[in-house]
Chains A and B, each alone.
Chain A
């Protein structure tokens, strides 16, 4: 199975642990991942105004790059890239006038893009193409006795027409954790916003959210929280420093990308996990569980 892959900016830096673990797990699952030869920033957020086409161009250019490589779909790992690329794609499909204006602006592009690339998240590929049952059969190191709370955040599930699972009560990450042998832990804050980019101008707000989200997960018995977005990962992991300063009763908890847990289960080596990039060190827990 061949897949075109759009990484996005943070997967190549702070979230290298997300990318390396995903790529190793996909190799083990027999998926041939081909990173786009050229790509640019997706824009990170979808412009919500009716009249702002300029901010959709970055996404459209990436979708043109996919077409140039004769692919009809593109996979993302980052939830923000997924949401932005997919929403822009839907927007231009539904609005021929905007599309025409965009074409006029991008007259140097050789392809007049029509919205015919399918934007998919890795989780969709795993669920629909590889299939969870097949993943379960390939598990080399089951995540036995590991209690994992899956945090979905906003952009994997909202808005409804973009989301890849139920927008109020998603379970796809929990279903994946179950086939990997872990004990999924459901918790009421799994789709509550972490504060996203407020981390730049209001880190204290993010500390409040991190406190609520992680305290809820821990209260339900979670030993680790898994995430699928580099910004959520930063807020829930690195902002635990500010959270601990603000809330004396706060207890730190390791944050892992779901792909790191998948990679462990698929038998990938520790070098693909990049555990050095974490603020809260997940190694003591993983060692205690015999997973590294």
Chain B
């Protein structure tokens, strides 16, 4: 894969937005990979949790907004509690989701769920799914 780094991307508003919504300082991450090592969801991720942070540092907006990883992260906080720099990776994942959700790009489309789908899971599952994956 050909990757182009540029000051323009790094200084893009997108990077500031992720930092602001997540409340995290992205450049504090030194890419040790501990978050990815302990993540129970990495097998299904296209970009590992440490790469999500790296992409955010470098302003890889399109790549992040298209990443499946943020929708596979279920905010279990294993990465957060283990990060040696105290970075809240789950909050960064949430910020990427929110950039999309705030433009009404829902990940779970409620009207497409059948009555049977909805009845087959408890209220706690539906509410948390809609809270995390819809606008």
Residues on A lying within 8 angstroms of B by beta carbon are: 8-10, 13-15, 41, 43-45, 47-52, 55, 78, 80, 154, 158-160, 167-168, 191-193, 195-202, 205, 208-209, 230-231, 234
B81 touches A197 (CB 8 A): no
**Beyond A50-B21, A158-B78, is A198–B72 a contact (Cβ under 8 Å)?**
yes
Which A residues touch B108, using CB under 8 A? 200-201
* 8 closest Cβ pairs, A-B complex: A193-B76, A14-B122, A197-B129, A200-B129, A48-B94, A197-B128, A158-B77, A50-B23
The range of chain B's interface size is 35 or more
Which B residues touch A158, using CB under 8 A? 76-78, 80-81
Against A, the Cβ 8 Å flags (1 = close, 0 = not) of B123-135 are: 1111111011100
A231 touches B125 (CB 8 A): yes
Q: Which secondary structure dominates where chain A touches chain B?
A: loop
Give, as a whole number of angstroms, the nearest-CB distance from A42 to chain B.
Answer: 9
Which B residues touch A47, using CB under 8 A? 94, 131
Q: Decide yes or no whether B40 CB sits under 8 A from chain A.
A: yes
Which B residues touch A80, using CB under 8 A? 124, 128
A9 touches B123 (CB 8 A): yes
Complex-state Cα separation, A154 to B95, whole angstroms:
20
Instruction: Report the nearest A residue to B109, measured CB to CB.
Output: A201
B40 touches A199 (CB 8 A): no
Instruction: Report the nearest B residue to A153, measured CB to CB.
Output: B76
Against A, the Cβ 8 Å flags (1 = close, 0 = not) of B66-84 are: 0000001011111011000
A49 touches B124 (CB 8 A): no
**Beyond A159-B81, A193-B74, is A45–B122 a contact (Cβ under 8 Å)?**
no
A201 touches B107 (CB 8 A): yes
**Beyond A48-B90, A49-B95, A160-B81, is A15–B122 a contact (Cβ under 8 Å)?**
yes
Which A residues touch B129, using CB under 8 A? 197-201
Give, as a whole number of angstroms, the nearest-CB distance from A164 to chain B.
Answer: 14
A159 touches B80 (CB 8 A): yes
**Beyond A50-B23, A201-B133, A205-B44, is A230–B122 a contact (Cβ under 8 Å)?**
yes
Give, as a whole number of angstroms, the nearest-CB distance from A257 to chain B.
Answer: 13
A167 touches B81 (CB 8 A): yes
| A52, A154, A159, A200: residue with the most chain B Cβ atoms closer than 10 Å | A200
Contact of B20 among A51, A78, A230 (CB under 8 A): A51
Q: Decide yes or no whether B121 CB sits under 8 A from chain A.
A: yes
In chain B, residues 77-105, which have Cβ atoms closer than 8 Å to a Cβ of chain A? 77-78, 80-81, 88, 90-91, 94-95, 98
A10 touches B40 (CB 8 A): no
A234 touches B21 (CB 8 A): no
Complex-state Cα separation, A208 to B74, whole angstroms:
14
Q: Decide yes or no whether B41 CB sits under 8 A from chain A.
A: yes
Since A197-B125, A230-B122 are in contact, a sample of 6 more A-B pairs with Cβ atoms closer than 8 Å, ordered by chain A residue number, is A44-B131, A80-B128, A168-B81, A196-B76, A231-B122, A231-B128
Q: Decide yes or no whether B22 CB sits under 8 A from chain A.
A: yes
Complex-state Cα separation, A58 to B125, whole angstroms:
17
A48 touches B74 (CB 8 A): no
Complex-state Cα separation, A9 to B117, whole angstroms:
18
Give, as a whole number of angstroms, the nearest-CB distance from B127 to chain A.
Answer: 5
Complex-state Cα separation, A45 to B117, whole angstroms:
21
A43 touches B131 (CB 8 A): yes
B80 touches A197 (CB 8 A): no
Complex-state Cα separation, A55 to B75, whole angstroms:
16
15 contacts between A and B (CB under 8 A): A8-B124, A9-B123, A14-B123, A48-B95, A49-B95, A50-B21, A51-B20, A191-B78, A193-B41, A193-B76, A196-B125, A196-B128, A199-B125, A201-B107, A205-B44
Instruction: Report the nearest A residue to B39, measured CB to CB.
Output: A193
